[in-house]
């Protein structure tokens, strides 16, 4: 289990759900970690991720430029490099177009789009100063969503923001491929993260089962495995892609 | 080991004449390294045997099998061989494909014979291999099929049969995925981009009477990532991920392994 040995990774949204699963998997594969989140509280419950893994935690807001710059600086401190950034932090508004206030829209865009922009910018600036190692100067894995490709039920601003993440991914891959910076996204389908409330309302679960060809819905670990693949040296000729982890939903 | 005790059939596990490592051979070696028993299938038995020898050197388990993939009977015999020998079939990896070497050409130049031949090798083979393996996988309630298509599907490509058959493989894979998901079977398709493989580089060098280095330089310059083609190992690693349990919620996807060719502008 050493597919990320010698690599340093910064993971946003790392306290809960998919981000927590990615943090656990990356540590198991030997990465040096800095976890970032706006809170250490775990949405699905349990001990804070950074305590379980005994790794540093940076409490910050990805939509704040200073927080992002500081997180990138701190992430690179132990090894002098930042090899991997995973942009997992995101919020929802859970409103239809006609119910979405400007404030709600703005906040979703700040976290889900501006946050990814700021982190990618800080990370790529940093990576461009690093030497190429195993064919990459650095890698970015953005967590997008199938929403933005298909409709996000009753969650207008979330779907819009996630389609922007896919575009950001492609643009960075294209502009910085020559510099050996690799940038991909993972698009989860319906993932049962342990979150309660709206996420597991029967009407959404029934809808998800009806649309997912595989017999089960997704787990956070499914997304973490895809992120691991794209963050590892096994994926050195894949860039600009949006890898769906959706049980066949989009092929259906 | 990520494929411990899995039984895999790699169709096209030999390779075209030339330098370096083809996609099929790299995949067979990778699957075997990760613990799979591999039936290495090729129309050129000698080339398949070379792959098996390379696996043997590393203490892996593999057997060579000769098949003409344009014949349904050969594909059935191939599946039966793996099943009889090892008791199950967990992975079917369809790697065969021809373009120039099958007589593929631009529209006004292509002959019916060449088109039929390319279609039989590229498309019919992957469909009939699936037809024969699916009953076994349904019985097992598990299995993975990986089809190797091409970035020619998305980007510009001059010759008719390769473009059309590789595009059809994508649609077929999606159908395979949603019609067999209920049985726990996954199907995904990889689109290799510009690769530094014997089939892609040496075949062109021979056909266009250029040096290998010339063909390499021309192709390298078109790749956004590092201005360098990919290798058979890049495809093999993607196939390993899709074949393993790590991808157990991934089916029906089209995964380019193309150094960013699909996002290239201008």
- b (16+ CB within 10 A) / e for B19-44: ebbbbbbbbbbbbbbbebbbbbbbbb
Q: Name the architecture of domain B7-196+231-252.
A: 3-Layer(aba) Sandwich (3.40)
Contact A251 B177 (CB under 8 A): yes
What pLDDT does B17 receive?
82
Contact B260 A213 (CB under 8 A): no
Ordered by start, the domain boundaries in chain A are 8-251
Residue A175 near chain B (CB below 8 Å): no
Q: Residue A218: which residues within 8 A CB-CB, separation 6 or more?
A: A188, A189, A190, A191, A192, A245, A246, A247, B249
Place A16 in a pLDDT band, splitting at 50, 70 and 90. Answer: very high
Determine which of A63-67, B14-18, B115-119, B237-241 has the lowest per-residue pLDDT on average.
Answer: B14-18
What pLDDT does B20 receive?
82
Which chain B positions have a beta carbon within 8 Å of A218's beta carbon? 249
Contact B181 A238 (CB under 8 A): no
Task: Return d(Cα B30, Cα B34) in angstroms, integer.
Answer: 6
Which chain A positions have a beta carbon within 8 Å of B178's beta carbon? 213, 248, 251-252
Residue B234 near chain A (CB below 8 Å): yes
Determine which of A55-69, B42-56, B70-84, B252-266 has the lowest per-residue pLDDT on average.
Answer: B252-266
> What distance in Å separates residue B122's CA from the closest CA in chain A?
21
Task: Using CA coordinates, name the residue in chain A closest to B236.
Answer: A234
- Name the strand (E) or helix (H) holding B156: none
Task: With a cut of 70, say whether residue A32 has pLDDT above it.
Answer: yes
Residue A174 near chain B (CB below 8 Å): yes
Residue A173 near chain B (CB below 8 Å): yes
Strands A242-245 and B61-66: unpaired
Task: With a cut of 90, say whether residue A199 has pLDDT above it.
Answer: no
Calculate the average pLDDT of chain B.
95
Mean pLDDT, rounded, for B192-197: 94
DSSP B163-193: HHHHHHHHHHHHHHHHHHGGGTEEEEEEEE-
What pLDDT does B120 receive?
98
Task: Using CA coordinates, name the residue in chain A closest to B177.
Answer: A248
Bridge partners (DSSP) of residue A10 are: A34, A85
Contact A238 B238 (CB under 8 A): yes
Residue B226 near chain A (CB below 8 Å): yes
Percent of chain B with pLDDT over 90: 91
Q: Which of A158, A167, A176, A207 is catalytic?
A: A158
Selection from A151, A237, A186 nearest residue A13 by Cα: A186
Q: Name the architecture of domain A8-251.
A: 3-Layer(aba) Sandwich (3.40)
Selecting from A237, A243, A248 the residue whose C-beta is nearest the C-beta of B259 gives: A237
Residue A177 near chain B (CB below 8 Å): yes
Q: What three-state secondary structure class fits B221?
A: coil
Question: In Å, how far are A11, A31, A251, B25, B120 from A56, measured between CA atoms?
Answer: 11, 13, 40, 43, 57
- Annotated active-site residue B159? The verdict is no
Starting from the edge strand earliest in sequence, which strands make up the sheet with B7-11, in order? B61-66, B37-42, B7-11, B91-94, B143-148, B185-192, B254-257
Task: With a cut of 70, say whether residue B266 has pLDDT above it.
Answer: no
- pLDDT (tens digit per residue) in B116-155: 999 999 999 999 999 999 999 999 999 999 999 999 999 8
Spell out the SS3 assignment of A42-88.
Answer: CCCCCCCHHHHHCCCEEECCCCCHHHHHHHHHHHHCCCCCCCEEEEC
What pLDDT does B265 receive?
53
> What distance in Å separates residue B194's CA from the closest CA in chain A?
10
Task: With a cut of 70, say whether residue A123 has pLDDT above it.
Answer: yes
Alpha helices (runs of H) in chain B, residue ranges in sequence order: 23-33, 45-57, 72-86, 112-119, 125-140, 160-180, 203-207, 212-220, 232-243
Mean pLDDT, rounded, for A23-49: 98
- pLDDT (tens digit per residue) in A161-179: 999 999 999 999 999 999 9
What pLDDT does A252 receive?
83
- Name the strand (E) or helix (H) holding A119: helix A115-128
Give the residue, B192 or B265, on which the prediction is more confident: B192
Contact A237 B193 (CB under 8 A): yes
Residue A6 near chain B (CB below 8 Å): no
Ordered by start, the domain boundaries in chain B are 7-196+231-252
């Amino acid at each position: 289990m050493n597919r990320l040995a010698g690599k340093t990774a910064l993971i946003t949204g790392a306290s809960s759900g998919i981000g927590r699963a990615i943090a656990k998997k990356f540590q198991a594969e030997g990465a040096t970690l800095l976890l970032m989140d706006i809170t250490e509280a775990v949405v699905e419950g349990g001990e804070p991720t950074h305590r379980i893994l005994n790794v540093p935690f940076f409490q910050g807001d990805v939509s704040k430029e200073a927080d992002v710059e500081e997180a990138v600086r701190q992430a690179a401190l132990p090894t002098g490099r930042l090899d991997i950034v995973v942009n997992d932090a995101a919020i929802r508004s859970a409103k239809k177009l006609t119910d979405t206030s400007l404030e709600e829209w703005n906040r979703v865009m700040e976290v889900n789009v501006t946050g990814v922009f700021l982190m990618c910018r800080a990370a790529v600036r940093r990576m461009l100063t690093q030497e190429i190692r195993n064919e990459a100067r650095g890698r970015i894995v953005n967590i997008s969503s199938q929403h933005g490709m298909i409709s996000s039920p009753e969650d207008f601003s979330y779907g819009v923001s996630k389609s922007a993440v896919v575009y950001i991914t492609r643009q960075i891959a294209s502009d910085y491929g020559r510099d050996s910076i690799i940038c991909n996204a993972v698009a989860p389908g319906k993932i049962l993260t342990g979150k309660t409330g709206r996420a597991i309302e029967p009407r959404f679960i029934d809808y998800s089962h009806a649309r997912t060809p595989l017999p089960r819905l997704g787990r956070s670990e499914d997304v973490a495995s895809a992120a691991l693949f794209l963050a590892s040296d096994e994926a050195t000729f894949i860039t600009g892609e949006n890898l769906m982890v959706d049980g066949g939903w989009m092929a259906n | 080991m990520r494929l411990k005790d899995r039984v895999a059939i790699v169709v096209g596990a030999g390779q075209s004449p030339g330098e370096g490592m083809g996609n099929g051979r790299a995949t067979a070696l990778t699957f075997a390294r990760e613990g799979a028993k591999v039936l290495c299938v090729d129309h050129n038995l000698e080339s398949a045997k070379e792959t098996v020898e390379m696996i043997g050197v590393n203490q892996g388990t593999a057997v060579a099998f000769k098949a003409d993939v344009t014949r349904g009977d050969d594909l059935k015999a191939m599946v039966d061989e793996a099943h009889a020998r090892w008791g199950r079939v967990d992975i079917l990896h369809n790697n065969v494909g021809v373009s120039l070497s099958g007589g593929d050409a631009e529209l006004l130049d292509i002959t019916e014979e060449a088109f039929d031949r390319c279609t039989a090798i590229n498309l019919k083979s992957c469909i009939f291999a699936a037809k024969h393996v699916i009953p076994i996988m349904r019985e097992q309630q598990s299995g993975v099929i990986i089809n190797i298509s091409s970035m020619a599907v998305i980007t510009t490509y001059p010759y008719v049969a390769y473009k059309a058959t590789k595009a059809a493989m994508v649609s077929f894979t999606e159908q395979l995925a949603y019609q067999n998901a209920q049985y726990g079977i996954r199907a995904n398709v990889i689109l290799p981009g510009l690769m530094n493989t014997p089939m892609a580089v040496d075949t062109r060098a021979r056909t266009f009477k250029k040096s290998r280095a010339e063909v390499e330089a021309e192709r390298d310059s078109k790749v956004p990532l590092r201005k360098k083609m990919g290798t058979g190992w890049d495809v093999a690693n993607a196939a390993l991920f899709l074949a393993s349990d790590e991808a157990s919620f991934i089916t029906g996807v089209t995964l380019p392994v193309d150094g960013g060719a699909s996002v290239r502008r201008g």
